[in-house]
Amino acid sequence: MRVRELGRFIRDQRASARLSLRKLSKLAGISNPYLSQIERGLRRPSAEILQAIAKALRISAETLYVKAGILEERTDAVDIAASIRRDSTLNAKQKQILLDLYGSFHTGRKAAPKRAKVRKVAAAKRPAARKATRPTSRPASRVTKARKAPVGRRTRRAG
């Protein structure tokens, strides 16, 4: 029996999906204690329960069936390229696009692009900050005095 392996796998998938036990049990439509027992390897779930858990986790039910020992793991290799070529519902251009795309995942793998090198410049080599000069022709003291309001004058309103 692979009940413990299955329970660990479901727990790992739940953790990677960032779901709590309660949330997964609600999404799968099974009780919280039953799901807990499955995860701890105490209960062997039926195919229907596994299908509900797989749907809630958004993974293949076949994967859970293999982990539970209900199905044997596939060992035969499927020739995807031959299947695409045989498909009568696709035209020649569509077939070529699919074959190119499929091939890019298997044969045309490129290394990650290299990052551009950045030269580090020492702080001493940076030019010193220049002092800002005022574009006015008057001295600074006159500018501040001219902006101040006269102190003794008050204006009266006509009443």
Let me know: does 37 contact 80? Beta carbons within 8 Å. Answer: no
Q: Tell me, what amino acid is at 107? A: T
* Banded model confidence at residue 150, pLDDT cuts 50, 70, 90: low
pLDDT recorded at residue 151: 62
The Cα 9–Cα 17 span in angstroms is 12
User: Region 52-71: what's the mean pLDDT?
Assistant: 90
User: Region 42-65: what's the mean pLDDT?
Assistant: 92
* Banded model confidence at residue 16, pLDDT cuts 50, 70, 90: very high
Query: What integer best gives the mean pLDDT of the chain?
Result: 79
SS3 32: helix
Whether the per-residue pLDDT at 140 is higher than 80: the answer is: no
- Sort residue 29 into left (φ over 0), alpha (ψ -120 to 50) or beta: left
pLDDT recorded at residue 126: 57
pLDDT recorded at residue 102: 86
Percentage of residues in the chain with pLDDT exceeding 70?
A: 64
Tell which wins on pLDDT, 140 or 24.
24
The Cα 106–Cα 78 span in angstroms is 14
- Tens-digit pLDDT profile for residues 81-119: 888 888 889 899 999 999 999 888 876 555 555 555 555
Whether the per-residue pLDDT at 136 is higher than 90: the answer is: no
pLDDT recorded at residue 9: 93
Produce one character per residue of 107-126: b if its CB has 16 or more CB atoms within 10 Å, e if not: eeeeeeeeeeeeeeeeeeee
* Banded model confidence at residue 11, pLDDT cuts 50, 70, 90: very high
